[in-house]
């Protein structure tokens, strides 16, 4: 993948990567702690804490972990974490904070594979295998994840994790894992809603002084009324502090979740201080709260003190850090507050979101700013902010997240230049090249005067090369070089330009641009671009007939990819294939060839796939492996889809000749001594274009038979059998 801008540093929300601070009045639940301790002692693979909202799952785990000595990795998931690249980035970062695994190596694996579950989990398990001490990996609110790839990856991680790693999944409902298999193997401990119900003794601790006025009978009655539901008991405690008759309250209280809305409205929000109630409702639009953003949203001051005071008396406001700077509402409480806010002052909601958006934008948090811009209906402002966030998401491999945001813009996305370009990148990365080109057309239509269209050139060249259309990519590369645009644009443009020259067999031009791209990518810390620049250098050396140079360049590309955590990135496939073709060790060559084919088949780009299949077939022929024929047949099928395969088509023809027993050198084909006529040269210049012979005839005002005659002469003189081969042979002879 080559993306369109410099590599920014995308911060991870620190509050997502640590457990919430335990409540000030912590109830030790020894029977549940015992279940969790037993799970650790028996080294089960997974602990599943599955219960409805408000059951006390997060509090239980946070308080239990506070008493453990093992390293703990905590991930608090959100709805946006369903993007595989985003989910695994956060999980890797969380584990990296808890244990010195090579998170810096794993992150490029996540980005390069766009969160591919097979690639990421394999790499993560390899890192975890080096963990010698017990490690707890906790994923809270897993029910918010609705991506099949993430579910597959998690189940595979559970299966493959070393015995010293225990995974804890907290969720409102069971994840789509094969739990029966884990139960049969005694690899799972389950804590359910019934287990989490508070008994009278635990309820007394949760209620604190407010429950001291209750005799045991009424305490038991309150537990019955709430069915031991933690959130119901917390709500009851808020009222017990102020009622004159606790016993009458207990007899009237219904603490089940079906009546909580009415209870909050009638018994809690209706009696709190009006200013306090106003702040609760206004700040319910926020996922996380800190003093400055509370002040920005409410238009008041003292937000930090208000948060601290509220958390001290209300267990439904949860501290997220030890310093008491960041908080969040209990999820159930937040949802209910939002519902009440929308009913109480619906006309204020857009303004509240606009204030939040402005604050987050000032902090450089464009993701949250966009969320709030969309919530307040300012779609155009959200679209404008994607100019900053979109390239970051592409760099992080979060294509699903980016597409989701673009989709939420609706028709506005079709009127904003950057959004059209971002849509194009999304479709390109997903292998939808025609749709990507349509988005580029849209971008051209809506681009304002003075827009730098060179910013889209990298995408255009990548689409052309992915389709096997070297001519179009080469035309764009020549324009870029002529305009001296490389130094004034990000390194991905240099990589795409160098790639076009490489596939066209223009070795000297390719070498110069790719060396510049390599240095620039290293400076910009753009890992995939750095690796691709090295891969294309190996392709150039192989095509030039230098086995030694190709082996050295391919080895450098592979080693660099491994160092950057990109050994499983599909773009590295040609380097493995070339290392196999030019290596001296047959066993290693077979291993590299098989790995190259496996990687290339995961990439939707025809040109790279064609080259890898051909290179590996060439290797198999040299090893006497019968699998060469099948690879060549697959390569021929890919060739048929390529309008202009460049050197990859020539390489396939030469390898097929070798299979038939005809040897051929590895360098560019030589041109017959007989020169092309002027009319043949004119026709030759039309052959790289996507024009039929009939269309060429019409363009030149001659008959179709005349064009056919000229083409036969061109093929004969260039020593080739078809149009695609003629185009590349002409390039080799510097005729195009």
Q: What is the 3-state secondary structure (H, E, C) of 253-280?
A: CCCCHHHHHHHHHHHHHCCCCHHHHHHH
Q: Which of 202, 146, 275 is CA-nearest to residue 27?
A: 202
Its pTM stands at 0.79
- Per-residue pLDDT band for 456 (boundaries 50, 70, 90) equals very high
Higher per-residue pLDDT: 287 or 680: 287
Phi, psi of 201 (to 5 degrees): -65, -45
Percent of the chain having pLDDT more than 90? Answer: 45
- Per-residue pLDDT band for 7 (boundaries 50, 70, 90) equals very low
CB atoms within 10 A of CB 579: 29
Q: Is 486 in contact with 474 (CB distance < 8 Å)?
A: no
Per residue in 470-529, pLDDT (tens digit) is 999 999 999 999 999 999 998 999 999 999 999 999 999 999 999 999 999 988 888 889
What letter would DSSP give residue 19? Answer: P
Which residue matches tokens 């290596």?
583
- pLDDT at residue 153 above 90? yes
CB atoms within 10 A of CB 727: 28
Which CATH number covers residue 557?
Answer: 1.25.40.10
Q: How far apart are the C-alpha atoms of 358 and 565, rounded to whole Å? A: 37
How far, CA to CA in Å, does 579 sit from each of 362, 528, 603, 674?
49, 19, 19, 37
User: SS3 for 187?
Assistant: coil
Q: Judging by DSSP bridges, how do beta strands 135-140 and 46-50 pair with one another?
A: unpaired
Task: Please give the average per-residue pLDDT across 649-656, as a whole number.
Answer: 86
Please tell me whether residues 190 and 214 are part of one structural domain: no
What letter would DSSP give residue 136? Answer: E
Please tell me whether residues 472 and 613 are part of one structural domain: yes
Region of poorest pLDDT, from 155-169, 221-235, 537-551:
221-235
Please tell me whether residues 186 and 210 are part of one structural domain: no
Please tell me whether residues 545 and 404 are part of one structural domain: no
Name residues whose C-beta falls within 8 Å of residue 100's C-beta, 6 or more positions apart in sequence.
none
Please tell me whether residues 264 and 190 are part of one structural domain: no
* Residue 664 covered by a domain: no
- pLDDT at residue 12 above 70? no
Largest pairwise CA distance in the chain: 110
**Which tokens go with 271?**
């009696």
Residue 156 CB-density burial (10 A; 0-12 exposed, 13-18 middle, 19+ buried)? middle
Higher per-residue pLDDT: 84 or 726: 84
Please tell me whether residues 497 and 645 are part of one structural domain: yes
Q: Among 608, 624, 659, give the residue marking a domain's end.
A: 659
Please tell me whether residues 565 and 698 are part of one structural domain: no
CB atoms within 10 A of CB 279: 21
pLDDT for 199 equals 81
- Structural domain harbouring 427: 364-451
Q: List strands edge to edge, sheet with 46-50.
A: 71-76, 135-140, 165-171, 46-50, 188-192
Q: Which of 122, 95, 94, 97 is CA-nearest to residue 109?
A: 122
Higher per-residue pLDDT: 451 or 730: 451
Q: Among 214, 246, 269, give the residue marking a domain's end.
A: 269
Task: Please give the average per-residue pLDDT across 83-98, as a whole number.
Answer: 91
**Which tokens go with 481?**
């070089």
pLDDT for 685 equals 77
* Residue 275 covered by a domain: no
Higher per-residue pLDDT: 731 or 256: 731
- pLDDT at residue 350 above 90? yes
pLDDT averaged over every residue in the chain: 85
Please tell me whether residues 436 and 505 are part of one structural domain: no
- pLDDT at residue 166 above 50? yes
Task: Please give the average per-residue pLDDT across 152-160, as a whole number.
Answer: 93
Please tell me whether residues 229 and 175 are part of one structural domain: no
pLDDT for 440 equals 95
- Per-residue pLDDT band for 264 (boundaries 50, 70, 90) equals low
Q: Among 451, 477, 497, give the residue marking a domain's end.
A: 451
pLDDT for 4 equals 45
Residue 644 CB-density burial (10 A; 0-12 exposed, 13-18 middle, 19+ buried)? buried
- Per-residue pLDDT band for 227 (boundaries 50, 70, 90) equals low
Per residue in 398-448, pLDDT (tens digit) is 999 999 999 999 999 999 999 999 999 999 998 899 999 999 999 999 999
DSSP secondary structure string for all residues of 219-252 = HHHHHHHHTT-HHHHHHHHHHHTT-S-HHHHHHH
pLDDT for 268 equals 65
- pLDDT at residue 9 above 50? no
pLDDT for 265 equals 66
Residue burial 7-31, b: 16+ Cβ < 10 Å; e: rest: beeeeebebbbbbbbbbeeebebee
User: SS3 for 608?
Assistant: helix
Per residue in 704-719, pLDDT (tens digit) is 778 778 778 887 878 7
Q: Which of 582, 576, 586, 583 is CA-nearest to residue 613?
A: 576
In which element (H, E) is residue 140 found?
strand 135-140
How far, CA to CA in Å, does 189 sit from each of 46, 80, 179, 484?
7, 28, 10, 63
User: SS3 for 108?
Assistant: helix
Please tell me whether residues 647 and 550 are part of one structural domain: yes
* Residue 244 covered by a domain: yes
pLDDT for 478 equals 93
Q: How far apart are the C-alpha atoms of 140 and 77, rounded to whole Å? A: 6
* Residue 481 covered by a domain: yes
Task: Please give the average per-residue pLDDT across 94-117, as a whole number.
Answer: 81
Please tell me whether residues 206 and 82 are part of one structural domain: no
Please tell me whether residues 593 and 705 are part of one structural domain: no
Per residue in 596-644, pLDDT (tens digit) is 999 998 876 899 999 999 999 999 988 888 888 899 999 999 988 988 8
């Amino acid at each position: 993948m080559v993306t369109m801008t410099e590599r920014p540093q995308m911060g991870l929300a620190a509050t997502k990567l640590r457990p919430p601070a335990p409540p000030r009045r912590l109830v030790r639940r020894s029977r549940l702690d015992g279940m969790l301790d037993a799970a650790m002692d028996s080294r089960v693979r997974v602990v599943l804490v599955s219960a409805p909202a408000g059951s006390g799952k997060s509090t239980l785990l946070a308080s239990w972990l506070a008493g453990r000595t093992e390293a703990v990795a905590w991930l608090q998931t959100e709805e946006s974490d369903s993007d595989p690249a985003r989910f695994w980035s956060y999980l890797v970062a969380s584990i990296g904070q808890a244990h010195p695994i090579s998170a810096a190596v794993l992150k490029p694996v996540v980005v390069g594979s766009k969160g591919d579950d097979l690639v990421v989990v394999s790499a993560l398990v390899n890192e975890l295998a080096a963990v010698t001490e017990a490690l707890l990996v906790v994923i809270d609110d897993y029910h918010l994840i609705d991506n099949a790839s993430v579910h597959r990856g998690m189940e595979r991680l559970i299966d493959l994790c070393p015995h010293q790693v225990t995974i804890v999944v907290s969720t409102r409902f069971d994840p789509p894992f094969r739990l029966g298999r884990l139960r049969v193997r005694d690899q799972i401990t389950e804590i359910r809603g019934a287990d989490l119900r508070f008994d009278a003794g635990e309820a007394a601790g949760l209620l604190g002084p407010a429950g001291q006025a209750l005799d045991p009978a009424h305490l038991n009655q309150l537990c019955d009324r709430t069915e031991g539901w933690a959130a119901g008991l917390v709500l009851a405690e808020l009222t017990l502090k102020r009622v004159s008759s606790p016993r009458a309250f207990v007899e009237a209280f219904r603490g089940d979740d079906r009546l909580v809305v009415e209870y909050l409205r009638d018994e809690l929000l209706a009696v709190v201080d009006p200013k306090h109630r106003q702040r609760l409702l206004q700040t319910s639009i926020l996922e996380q709260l800190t003093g400055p953003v509370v002040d920005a949203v409410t238009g008041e001051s003292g937000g930090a003190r208000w948060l601290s005071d509220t958390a001290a008396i209300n267990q439904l406001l949860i501290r997220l850090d030890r310093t008491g700077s960041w908080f969040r509402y209990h999820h159930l409480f937040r949802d209910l507050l939002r519902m009440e806010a929308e009913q109480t002052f619906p006309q204020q909601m857009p303004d509240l979101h606009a204030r939040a958006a402005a604050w987050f934008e000032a902090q450089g948090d464009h993701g949250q700013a966009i969320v709030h811009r969309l919530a307040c209906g300012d779609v155009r402002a959200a679209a404008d902010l994607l100019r900053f966030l979109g390239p970051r998401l592409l760099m992080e491999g979060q294509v699903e997240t980016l597409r989701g945001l673009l989709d939420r813009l609706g028709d506005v996305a079709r009127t904003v230049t950057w959004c059209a370009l971002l849509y194009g990148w999304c479709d390109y990365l997903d292998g939808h090249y025609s749709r990507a080109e349509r988005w580029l057309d849209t971008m051209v239509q809506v681009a304002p005067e003075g827009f730098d269209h060179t910013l889209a050139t990298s995408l255009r060249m990548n689409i052309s090369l992915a389709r096997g259309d070297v001519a179009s990519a080469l035309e764009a590369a020549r324009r870029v070089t002529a305009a001296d645009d490389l130094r004034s644009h990000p390194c991905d443009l240099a990589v795409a330009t160098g790639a076009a020259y490489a596939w066209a067999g223009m070795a000297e031009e390719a070498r110069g641009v790719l060396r510049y791209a390599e240095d620039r990518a290293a400076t910009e810390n753009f890992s995939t671009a750095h690796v691709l620049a090295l891969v294309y250098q190996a392709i150039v050396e192989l095509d030039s007939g230098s086995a030694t140079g190709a082996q050295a360049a391919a080895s450098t590309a592979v080693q660099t990819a491994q160092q950057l955590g990109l050994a499983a990135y599909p773009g590295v496939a040609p380097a493995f294939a070339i290392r196999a073709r030019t290596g001296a060790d047959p066993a290693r060559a077979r291993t590299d060839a098989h790995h190259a084919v496996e990687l290339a088949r995961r990439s939707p780009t025809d040109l790279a796939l064609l080259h890898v299949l051909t290179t590996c077939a060439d290797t198999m022929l040299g090893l006497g492996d019968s699998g060469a024929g099948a690879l060549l047949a697959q390569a021929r099928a890919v060739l048929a889809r390529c309008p202009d395969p460049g050197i990859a088509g020539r390489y396939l023809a030469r390898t097929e000749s070798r299979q038939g027993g005809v040897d051929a050198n590895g360098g560019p084909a030589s041109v017959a001594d007989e020169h092309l006529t002027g009319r043949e040269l004119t026709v030759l210049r039309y052959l790289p274009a996507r024009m039929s012979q009939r269309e060429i005839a019409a363009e030149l005002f001659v008959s179709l038979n005349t064009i056919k005659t000229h083409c036969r002469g061109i093929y004969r003189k260039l020593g080739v059998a078809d149009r695609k081969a003629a185009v590349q042979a002409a390039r080799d002879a510097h005729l195009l």
